[in-house]
Each structure stands twice: as structure tokens, then as C-alpha cells.
Structure 1
């Protein structure tokens, strides 16, 4: 598959891109870095300016894409222009390029505002507002075959390969396990038009994702 990874140089994006390449996918990574992130015959790189015009983004992006991952973020430096407006522009880009699946890395309970009263959410309120409206636009306005992956707090812990989905309370996820989950949802009918909340657990990732079919 030909896959655009928006945010390939990030903590999750780098691991995800490596996994995609290991699975023989053709990957176009986006980053603001000049140095090539991966030396691989199936990897190319573009500088996709999320604050720029959609027409300029389209000009440097290949015309045919099988899937688009959005794993970028401003790290609270430019929430409206990147995490919200920038994300929406990439959805429009994916639609114009006829992408078969758009996979958004979001944050747990971004669409469930009633749960923001739980401890810790108030410290990330502006971030959650940006993610909320970005995810809502994807679901209600994009016209895309979407999958939204909403992990709990990301940690640098070694991955276990096990998670729980459709959770009731936030927890934490290793970055490795989030990247593995993002890989698992690719071209997986169980995840089409789904919002998936998750934290670490005892269920193998593949089994947890397939349970979404029921």
C-alpha cells in the first residue's frame, strides 16, 4: 500500500513508519527536518507545511494514496493552526487524493466532553478542545473512511503487545503499543468508521482490535 504518514519524525510516527516499512508498504513521510529519516527503497519524504495552503500541500503529495495517517502535533505550541486547522486540511487532502482510509491518532475521550472533569484533563483543556473539533470534523464532515485511535497517556515504557479497547477510565499506553495498534487498524474492516479508546491491558492487540467486529 502507498501510505502517507503525517508526522513521521514524531515519537509515535517514527516507530509507526518503521513498522510500515518492515511490512513492505510504500511510505511517504512528512517532516520539517531536512535529513532523510529512513534509508529504505520504499521510503520517500516531503516537507508538508500544515500551516500552509491546501493547494500547496496537494502539489507536493502523490496523486494516489491508499491510506493517510495523521500522527503529527504541535505539542501545545500552535494548537488551532496545526492540531485543528492543519489536521482538517489533511483530511481534505486525503479526500482529494482518494485515500481509502484516514487514520487519526487522537487522545482518549476527546469526543466525550462529559469525561473531561476527571483528574488531569483540566491541565490539557486547550489541547482537548482542538482535538475534539478535529475528530468531530473527521467523523461528521470529511466523508472519509476514518479510524480514530484514542490512547491514554503515552509513556516510554517497553511495549507489551497488549491493550484494552472501549475503555471506561483513562490509563496509559506505551508508545510502542500505540504504534502497533495503528499498524493493526490499517485496512482492517473491524476499524472502519470507528473511534477506539484504549489503554494498556491483557488482550493481545490483534485480538483486541478484531473484537470491534462484534
Structure 2
């Protein structure tokens, strides 16, 4: 009998939900549940038992795979972030920036995005590895998105010397501001406004690198 079958037996009052399977299926269910718990209850109130209950597995199944809560959170975030915001290639800088901004807006409004923001604003950043993950999230986002700007410069749509990192930061900043500060909707309208603003600034040389500024 597999550990998941044993963990989810009918005699266990801690796991009233149906069994979710085993192996990678269980792992995926637990990681998804961890993100959902982060979004719903926050970092401080998140427990391994709560994650197990939401995932439909026994808590011993969770403890066999993750030694503590912070390790589980780190694994859940790491496993989701890289593929959550697609990097577009529409053929124009206008289309790319708009699509990139809309992708970010959708992510910020999703359970995964909410979970990441919860961690960023909580004591979780004091946990080993989580602070590095926070820095890595943004560094990875910049690295993945910078080709959008590099291609635009190569096509002559943006002036030489335009700083890719500055373009992406200025594109994302108003959306994060809405999500974290004002609580305004982070939707396609907000994304389109951010894309138009950053494109105008970049076209007029306002986002050049240090040597060109």
C-alpha cells in the first residue's frame, strides 16, 4: 500500500477529502494548496496541517516531503513563478509591452501572485532562502523580459542605449503600486496605461542607460 493510500484511509479524521493519488500528483496538490493557503490566511497563520487538509492528504504525507513550513513555502513559490508570466514576441514593441503588462496584471490578480505578494510583505523573508528567493524572483523576471526591449532597439523602434531593465521596471512599477499600495484594480486597462506610458518615455530617450542619460 502506498504512503498516500495509508495516509488517506477512512479512519483518519484529519483528511476528510478524497485521496489525490500519489507521487508527483500528490506533490503538485500540496504545492498548489500551499499557495492557496498563503493567499487565504497569510504567512503567519499558514500551517502544515492546513495545507494537508486543503490538498486532501494526511499531514504525515506533507512532513515526509518537507521538513518545515518555510521549506514548503519556498518550494511552492519556486515551482510556480518561472512559468507564470509568459514573455511575448508579437513583432512590435507596442504589442510586446502591452502583452507583458497584461500578463503581469493577470498574475498579480491570481492566487499565485497573491501568495507571492503575501510572502514579500511578511516575516517570511527572514526565513533562510526566502529572502534570496524574493531577490531572485525580480532578477529572473527582468532577465526573461529584457529581450523584448533588445529586439525593439534592433528593429529601430526604440533608440540605441535604451536600458532594458529600466523599461521593464517602469512597466511593472505602476501595477505593483496598485496591487500593494492603493488597492486599485490591476486589470487590462491599468496594464495598457502602463505600457503606453513606458513606451512614450522610452521613445523619447527617458529610459536610457547611465552612459546615455
Normalising by the residue count of structure 1, what TM-score does the alignment of the two structures yield? 0.29
Normalized per residue, the structure richer in strand is 1
When normalised by structure 2's length, the TM-score is: 0.29
More helix by share: 2
Rg larger in structure = 2
